[in-house]
Structure 1
Amino acid sequence: MSWLAKLVAVVAALSLVTFGTAYARNAPVAAVITPTAGASVPVGVPVLFTGIAVNGETGGITSVELSVDGGSTWVEVGTTESWRYVYTPTEVGDLTVVSRAATAAGMGEPTAPRTVHVGSTGPLRPISGLYYFLLPDAVSAADTDAEPVEVGMRTRFDRPGSITGVALRRGSYAGPITVRVWSSAGVLLGEQVTAESRIMLTTPVPVTADEDYVVSYYTPEGGYRSSEHYFTGTVVSMPFTAPHDGVSGAGVYRYGVGGGFPTDTWHDSNYWIAPYFQR
């Protein structure tokens, strides 16, 4: 089942509770995917809002709107089932986020509100077990670049725990790669050679809350998968954050035989590697 199909199923189930059976069966339903409820974001840094809108098997979404003030004002963020929108908060405080979708028959009801904290933190959502940073989906391409390169993603966590592995989308190169975990200062914290696309580290890497880390992999012949103009804002899916620094997004790379700590950026690219986290 595709990413979108799974979310459609979830939204359909939740809509029965959120809107009532009659409404859910006859009107479009919208959902905000990121940032997740209770997320904390900084002032003055772009945040990537993503979501979907569905209208059962009928389809026909014509507009999706987003509000960050509880529905007092709205902005159109898309005209299809999947949408993205970059918003830069300018003041400390809470955003009350709601979305709604329309078809040719009219506008649906707003979603249940969720709170996003700007410049402050709120209670952390309890978690247990293993969590994967499920990045909002996008079209990706196998890059034709054949040079040796290390590609990765900057990430941080809202609580202490461990990076226990990574998952990635492989490109055209199917040979062995070297997966690495780095501190924000470029200290190598973990390394493992593999030919797989989902890797559980033999030795998990402990991480501290609100510190930046980089998960990356070195490919000796390029052939990685990428999506340009993806990390156009900070992506928050608790307990994970892929931070935007106000200039460039979380995707990073470094050319050279053997790779190394990646710090270069290109068009806010996503190289489709993300961590597993365990508390």
Structure 2
Amino acid sequence: MRRLAVLLLALVLVSPTPAFAADNPFATLYSPTADASVPLNEPLLVFGGAFNGESSGITEVDVSTDDGATWTSTDAHTENWALVLTPTTPGPLTIQARAHTASTTGPVTASRTIQVGGTTTPPFTGSGLVLHDTPAPDLNDPDTAAVELGLRFQVDRDGSLVGMGLRRGDYTGPVTAHVWSADGTLLAAQAVPAAQRSQQITFTTTIPVTAGTEYVVSYYTPSGGYFATENYFLGGIAQTPFYTPVNAGVYSYDGGFPAETWNASNYWVTPYFAA
């Protein structure tokens, strides 16, 4: 019996499966994108994700803009985080991020350099602006009034708008997509059929857009029921070739050009671009 006990103990000691998985937290950076140009002395929204494999347990993400000399805590929970920075010095700015658990501070796992106050036009390989979740709470708004909901943005090069994306709320019936100039001139309108939650729309006719000029992409819902996230556009978003300003989310009750804002809300409308 004693020899059996010793043998069992030896098997436990050499077992390749640990009793507990080790913490290995890491952070990712979704926005801004590499080499994007951002305005000087204007708030910039930085956001990303944080993960710890199957162990989970992310407690914090912090960000450095001085090569790790100082760190700033972010709004973070489980898998997403956000921070508003205001760049005050022109030239390149490197943003680094690391994640924490209760027992471990992870290494720098996200690093990205952007251009402050510049006019760079880095290579563009995507098509649409990507608005990831942040710690701000989402809401299927119970408002049932007819309303136009949209997004202000500009691009860093000439090209065309080829479509838009919608993240919809409880109302999933037909809507109408619109593209506007900054002065409220309607550039395009297109009927959009009923769809569930997320929807990608391809414009039947592309809309030319000019670098450095603001546009609005929006949709009209006749019965409210839209998806919204307040306190989202607290800073500009720089994702080549797009830039959205503070308070980029806009609306207008009863339709028409959307120019009103509410608590920096995001109505989850995104443009698609082709150079």
- TM-score scaled to structure 2, two decimals? 0.84
Per the TM alignment, residue 117 of structure 1 is displaced from its structure 2 partner at its CA by 1.1
State the alpha-carbon separation in 2 of the partners of residues 162 and 202 from structure 1. Answer: 12
Per the TM alignment, residue 201 of structure 1 is displaced from its structure 2 partner at its CA by 0.6
Q: Does the 8 Å CA contact 1:140/1:225 hold for their aligned counterparts? A: yes
The residue number in structure 1 matching 2:69 is 72
Aligned ranges 1:84-123 → 2 under 5 Å: 84-111=82-109, 113-123=111-121
Aligned pair in 2 of structure 1 residues 164, 175: CA closer, same or farther (>3 Å)? same
Aligned CA-pair RMSD: 1.7
Q: Does the 8 Å CA contact 1:70/1:113 hold for their aligned counterparts? A: no
Say if 2:135 is the partner of 1:135.
no
Say if 2:260 is the partner of 1:264.
yes
- TM-score scaled to structure 1, two decimals? 0.83
Per the TM alignment, residue 89 of structure 1 is displaced from its structure 2 partner at its CA by 1.6
Count of aligned pairs between the two proteins: 247
The residue number in structure 1 matching 2:219 is 217
Aligned pair in 2 of structure 1 residues 174, 30: CA closer, same or farther (>3 Å)? closer
Aligned ranges 1:88-237 → 2 under 5 Å: 88-111=86-109, 113-127=111-125, 131-138=127-134, 139-195=137-193, 196=195, 197-237=199-239
What is the identity, as a one-letter code, of the residue corresponding to 2:53?
G
Q: Equivalent pairs: percent with the same residue?
A: 47
Per the TM alignment, residue 112 of structure 1 is displaced from its structure 2 partner at its CA by 5.1
The CA deviation string for residues 184-230 of structure 1, in whole angstroms up to 9 with x for no partner, is 11111111011243211100111111211100011122121111111
Per the TM alignment, residue 123 of structure 1 is displaced from its structure 2 partner at its CA by 4.6
Per the TM alignment, residue 121 of structure 1 is displaced from its structure 2 partner at its CA by 2.8
What is the identity, as a one-letter code, of the residue corresponding to 2:70?
T
State the alpha-carbon separation in 2 of the partners of residues 112 and 173 from structure 1. Answer: 38
Q: Does the 8 Å CA contact 2:124/2:240 hold for their aligned counterparts? A: no
Aligned pair in 2 of structure 1 residues 54, 239: CA closer, same or farther (>3 Å)? same
What is the identity, as a one-letter code, of the residue corresponding to 2:33?
T
The residue number in structure 1 matching 2:54 is 57
Q: Does the 8 Å CA contact 2:23/2:101 hold for their aligned counterparts? A: no
Say if 2:30 is the partner of 1:33.
yes
The residue number in structure 2 matching 1:45 is 42
What is the identity, as a one-letter code, of the residue corresponding to 1:136?
H
Question: Where do 4+ consecutive residues of structure 1 move more than 3 Å?
Answer: none
